[in-house]
């Protein structure tokens, strides 16, 4: 929902910050790599049981993730290579963070519930693949109830609640799984309709 409704407004608001960071000598690649490093730190912190600190670190990873594109535009270095690197780094950060949650649950629970964040991650990657594949064929696959920004916020809420009671974190993860699965279905149906309506690039 965020990507479809607010992305352009947020990007415009970040333009002055991107210019300031460019003038300070930062590059988009440096910010992207910093985001990966911060995601790793957050995952390790979560896995070791410090959920509140992990939540804070996770939200801090959103800063370089949001600003790398603004710096690239301000520097005039926006490119397909940069977009590819940014997209891959986003998927890598998602994998790292959910792996940290799985690590935490595997240490605190005797059941197989640690596979739940792995399942959420798997469906989230399916959503990302659907968009990438659809756009490569000329279709629009944006939108849905639980895009990356919503997952980011929901996981933060889950970590906060989980610092008081693990069961609350698990409940949030189940909700995330359900909404992420619904989003995957929404995107599939959206692209299927476009292909069925005789889009110029429609093909089997």
Question: Torsion angle, CA of 83/173/143/8, rounded to 10 degrees?
Answer: -50
Which pair of tokens denotes residue 81? 């290579």
What is the crossing angle of helices 80-108 and 148-162, to 10°?
Answer: 20
How far apart are alpha carbons 54 and 156 in whole angstroms? 9
Task: Indicate if 90 belongs to the active site.
Answer: yes
How far apart are alpha carbons 49 and 42 in whole angstroms? 11
User: Which one from 29, 90, 140, 166 is the annotated catalytic residue?
Assistant: 90
How far apart are alpha carbons 28 and 72 in whole angstroms? 5
Residues that are catalytic:
90
């Amino acid at each position: 929902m965020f990507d479809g409704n607010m992305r352009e407004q947020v990007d415009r608001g970040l333009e002055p910050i991107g210019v300031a960071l460019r003038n300070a000598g930062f590059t988009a690649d440096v910010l992207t790599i910093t985001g990966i490093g911060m995601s790793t730190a957050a995952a390790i912190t979560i896995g070791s049981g410090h959920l509140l600190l992990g939540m804070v670190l996770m939200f801090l990873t959103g800063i370089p993730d949001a600003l790398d594109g603004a710096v690239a535009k301000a520097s005039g270095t926006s490119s397909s290579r940069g977009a590819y690197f940014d997209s891959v780094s986003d998927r890598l950060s998602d994998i790292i963070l959910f792996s940290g949650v799985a690590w935490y649950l595997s240490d605190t629970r005797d059941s197989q519930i640690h596979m739940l964040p792995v399942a959420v991650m798997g469906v989230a990657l399916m959503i990302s693949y659907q968009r990438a594949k659809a756009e490569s064929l000329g279709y629009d696959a944006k939108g849905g109830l639980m895009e990356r920004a919503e997952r980011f916020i929901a996981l933060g809420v889950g970590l906060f609640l989980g610092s008081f009671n693990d069961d609350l974190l698990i409940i949030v993860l189940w909700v995330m799984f359900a909404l992420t699965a619904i989003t995957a279905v929404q995107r599939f149906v959206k692209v299927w309709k476009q292909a069925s309506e005789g889009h110029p690039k429609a093909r089997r």
